[in-house]
C-alpha cells in the first residue's frame, strides 16, 4: 500500500480528525507503537492545531508523521521498523 499523502504535511488536517501516529514508550525508547490520536485546537494557542494522545496535547508540526488511516500507518511502520 502506498502512502497517498505526505505524512509530514499537517496542513490537510482539521479539528476532529482521527489520525494515527508512531508513539514511543517514554520508559522504553526502543519500543514504538501505532496509536490513534485526535486533531484538536491547541490549548496554548487556539490558532494552532495539536494532537491529543493519552490525555496529553502534542504540537502538530511538520516534524510529526501523521497518517490518515491505521493501514497507512501500519504500512509505514513495517517500512521503518520491520516486522517482529
pLDDT in tens, 5-54: 555 566 778 999 999 998 877 777 677 889 999 999 999 998 999 999 99
CB 67 within 8 A of CB 78: no
The values of phi and psi at residue 70, to 5°, are -65, -35
Alpha carbon distance 75, 3 (integer Å): 8
CB 63 within 8 A of CB 9: no
Amino acid at each position: 500500500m502506498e502512502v497517498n499523502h505526505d505524512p509530514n504535511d499537517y496542513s490537510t488536517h482539521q479539528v476532529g480528525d482521527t489520525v494515527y501516529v508512531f508513539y514511543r514508550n517514554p520508559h522504553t525508547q526502543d519500543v514504538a507503537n501505532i496509536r490513534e490520536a485526535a486533531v484538536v485546537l491547541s490549548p496554548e494557542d487556539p490558532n494552532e492545531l495539536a494532537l491529543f494522545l493519552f490525555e496529553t496535547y502534542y504540537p502538530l508540526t511538520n516534524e510529526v508523521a501523521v497518517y490518515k488511516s491505521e493501514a497507512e500507518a501500519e504500512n509505514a511502520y513495517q517500512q521503518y521498523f520491520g516486522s517482529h
